[in-house]
Amino acid sequence: MSASAFVRITRPHNAVVAGLTALLGYLIATGTLTPPSLLLAVVVVLITAGGNVINDIYDVEIDRINRPDRPIPSGEISLSGAKMYTVALFAGGIAFATLTTALCLAIALINSVILVAYAIWLKRIPGLGNVAVAYLAASVFLFGGAFAGIGGLVQNISLAAITFLATVAREVLKDAEDVDGDAAGGARTLPMIIGIRRAGMLAFACACGAVLASILPVGDWWGPFYLTAIAVVDIVILFGASRGLWCTTSDCVRGSGATSILRTGMFAALAVFAVAAVI
């Protein structure tokens, strides 16, 4: 077992980005960053890493075929070693969460349970797996805000709602892109059940919901910058979702660029909230 394998199996880029997102959540809620808020990044990095490791544990048979270079199927990390490692990562994240607030600890515990459930069975349930991924992405902002108390959590609800709904839209469209490959591999996804056209309609409806959520924080705190900037973001999100609205084949969804545009819109929304919080 090599040290580099223990780093790679956590998908460090993914985990670190999630940790930085928690800090942004605190910045958006309070307009500032403090040394104690760095604990948020530590908690999220450890719990996200634990989730990534347990995913590899339960995907090991698939990875033996599709990703034999991954640390477990390649033999760099034993299955028992990976199990102990994921327990240590989750335990470490929760231990650090006890140093934050009761709200943060509650979110950390809930998310740890969802990450384990996702790896074991949620990801194999059409639609429910998409919702779980979207919740986990959105909850990082709630976690960051919760460090400032219930008021900070409430402050971030709008961004969390935008993230949740836009992520559901993107996840559904990603599944629509992969219908042919998933069918060949025996997978069962939502677009395979309801059809690609209806999946596109569902994604567009979620995008419309994200746009509605973006107007929730309008008021004295946000001001004209937010109104102007979020209007541009809303256009991007609606445009991205509309690109897959009329598709009936996976090739059409892939060619539309809908998922990439939605991702751009989500990052843009985060930037708008962050700037609006400090100006």
For residue 1, the model assigns a pLDDT of 62
pLDDT at 181: 72
Give the model's pLDDT for residue 3. 81
User: What's the confidence (pLDDT) of residue 69?
Assistant: 83
pLDDT value of position 124: 86
pLDDT mean values, one per 10 residues, the chain (279 residues): 85 94 94 94 98 91 77 88 96 98 97 96 91 96 96 92 95 90 75 94 96 79 83 96 92 94 94 87
Q: Please spell the DSSP secondary structure of the chain, one letter per residue.
A: --HHHHHHTT-HHHHHHHHHHHHHHHHHHHSS--GGGHHHHHHHHHHHHHHHHHHHHHTHHHHHHH-TTSTTTTTSS-HHHHHHHHHHHHHHHHHHHTTS-HHHHHHHHHHHHHHHHHHHTGGGSTTHHHHHHHHHHHHHHHHHHHTT-HHHHHHTHHHHHHHHHHHHHHHHHHHHHTHHHHHHTT---HHHHH-HHHHHHHHHHHHHHHHHHHTTT-STTTHHHHHHHHHHHHHHHHHHHHHTTT--SHHHHHHHTHHHHHHHHHHHHHHHHHHHHH-
Q: What's the pLDDT at 262?
A: 95
